[in-house]
């Protein structure tokens, strides 16, 4: 590790020497190369949704595709919802391919185009399986009351958010990855002991076959209650030192310890309920209904309008969600440091993750504010050194707290 300069008064660290100029330039170049594709995909998808939702074009689409299946109200709802999903994903597909090409140039992609296309189809099928019943239920409520449908719908949205959080590791994650139990050995034992010392009960330690898609490193703790498990990418296990793996898992355990998953689920449920209430209010605004070519919220032709309003609300709330996420991630970092008392290995882990994932370690502030869900690598490393200074652990390791495999 290169030497650094520390400000004794604040514990802040000049981390300029943590990454070489070439390493910084590589991460910056990847960010600049993939940003137009990633941002272009978002903006194009949002533009299409707004175009269909705020003009009669969406109403015409719902009527046309519904007519292919008999023209009944149910046919218009299901066919219209399917058309919106398919068009939304189709228009973003070239941008996703562009991101993939860029990441492949930097050695981050191991999957062929056939596998990528299969994943896209899986994602489309999963989205349709989730969206079509929701659309049918939604318009059953609007038929019941075009003006008050959002009252029961808000409660249903909150309950569905909680259910999906619980079922995600069991039903959705296996669609895209294969998970196998981590073999018995020192690392598995160390991870389970780490969770036990932290007072976190986990069902199992699993390995995800991420290497068939990417060389990026990651790990997480997913699920609630009986579905909670530690998951490590096989790329992480084959690349990082065992002690670094422990530090990654310690960070993820911090999310559980501070009930971030549960809190996020509750906040997500509340946010879903509030969003539905706002959609209910917007769906009674006559100028919007007129612009969309719909009579009222019970009219299937209002489906694109509701989708557009939901997309716009989601986009506007994105930066605020990122602020909350960065604070949560910083707290999980502190938890990992307190649990392991190993600031030096934490710093080594952050450096390894940044280099393996070709991260921009110090991105422009505006991009960080708008899109970043995690603090930058330089911020995380500086925070670790500041913690080490204030904690008084001169060698970065507390007695009895650094046991493990690294």
Among all residues, which ones are annotated catalytic? 252, 333
With tokens 């917007």, the residue in question is: 282
Contacts of 353 (CB under 8 A, 6+ apart): 217, 248, 359, 377
Report the C-alpha gap between 17 and 30 in whole angstroms: 20
DSSP at 14: E
Question: Can you tell me which residue has the tokens 């612009």?
Answer: 291
**Whole-angstrom Cα distance, residue 258 to residue 385?**
22
- Pairing type for strands 5-6 and 13-14 reads antiparallel
Annotated binding site for Zn(2+), which residues?
251, 255, 329
Start-to-end CA span in the chain (Å): 17
The burial of 392, by beta-carbon neighbours within 10 Å (0-12 exposed, 13-18 middle, 19 or more buried), is given as: exposed
Q: What b/e string do you get for 353-391 counting C-beta neighbours within 10 Å, with b at 16 or more?
A: bbbbbbbbbbbeeeebeeebebbbbbbbbbbbbbbbbee
Joined together, the tokens standing for residue 239 give 């690349």
């Amino acid at each position: 590790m290169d030497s650094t300069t520390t400000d004794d008064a604040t514990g802040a660290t000049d981390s300029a020497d943590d990454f070489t100029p070439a390493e910084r330039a590589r991460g910056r170049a990847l960010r600049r190369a993939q940003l137009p594709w990633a941002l272009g995909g978002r903006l194009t998808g949002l533009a299409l949704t707004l175009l269909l939702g705020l003009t009669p074009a969406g109403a015409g689409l719902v009527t046309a595709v519904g007519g292919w299946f008999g023209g009944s109200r149910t046919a218009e709802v299901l066919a219209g919802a399917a058309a919106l999903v398919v068009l939304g994903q189709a228009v973003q597909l070239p941008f996703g391919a562009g991101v993939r090409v860029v990441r492949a140039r930097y050695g981050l992609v191991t999957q062929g185009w056939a596998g990528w296309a299969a994943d896209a189809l899986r994602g489309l099928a999963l989205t349709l399986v989730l969206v079509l019943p929701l659309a049918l239920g939604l318009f059953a409520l609007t038929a019941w009351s075009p003006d008050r449908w959002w009252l029961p719908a808000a409660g249903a949205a909150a309950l569905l958010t909680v259910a999906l959080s619980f079922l995600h590791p069991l039903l959705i994650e296996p669609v895209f990855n294969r998970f196998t139990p981590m073999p018995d050995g020192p690392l598995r034992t160390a991870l389970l002991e780490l969770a036990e010392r932290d007072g976190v009960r986990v069902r199992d330690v699993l390995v995800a076959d991420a290497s068939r898609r990417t060389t990026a490193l990651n790990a997480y703790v997913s699920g609630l209650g009986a579905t909670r498990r530690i998951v490590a990418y096989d790329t992480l296990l084959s690349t990082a030192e065992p002690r670094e793996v422990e530090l990654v898992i310690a960070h993820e355990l911090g999310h559980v310890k501070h009930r971030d998953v549960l809190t996020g689920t509750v906040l997500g449920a509340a946010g879903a309920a509030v969003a539905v209430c706002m959609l209910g209010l917007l769906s009674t605004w006559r100028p919007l209904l007129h612009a969309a070519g719909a009579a009222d919220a019970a009219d299937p032709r209002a489906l694109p309008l509701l989708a557009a309003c939901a997309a716009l609300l989601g986009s506007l709330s994105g930066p605020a969600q990122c602020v909350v996420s960065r604070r949560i991630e910083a707290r999980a970092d502190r938890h990992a440091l307190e649990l392991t008392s190993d600031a030096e290995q934490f710093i080594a882990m952050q450096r390894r993750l940044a280099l393996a994932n070709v991260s921009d370690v110090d991105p422009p502030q505006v991009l960080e504010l708008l899109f970043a869900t995690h603090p930058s690598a330089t911020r995380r490393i500086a925070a670790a050194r500041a913690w080490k200074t204030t904690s008084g652990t001169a060698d970065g390791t507390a007695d009895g707290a650094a046991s493990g495999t690294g």
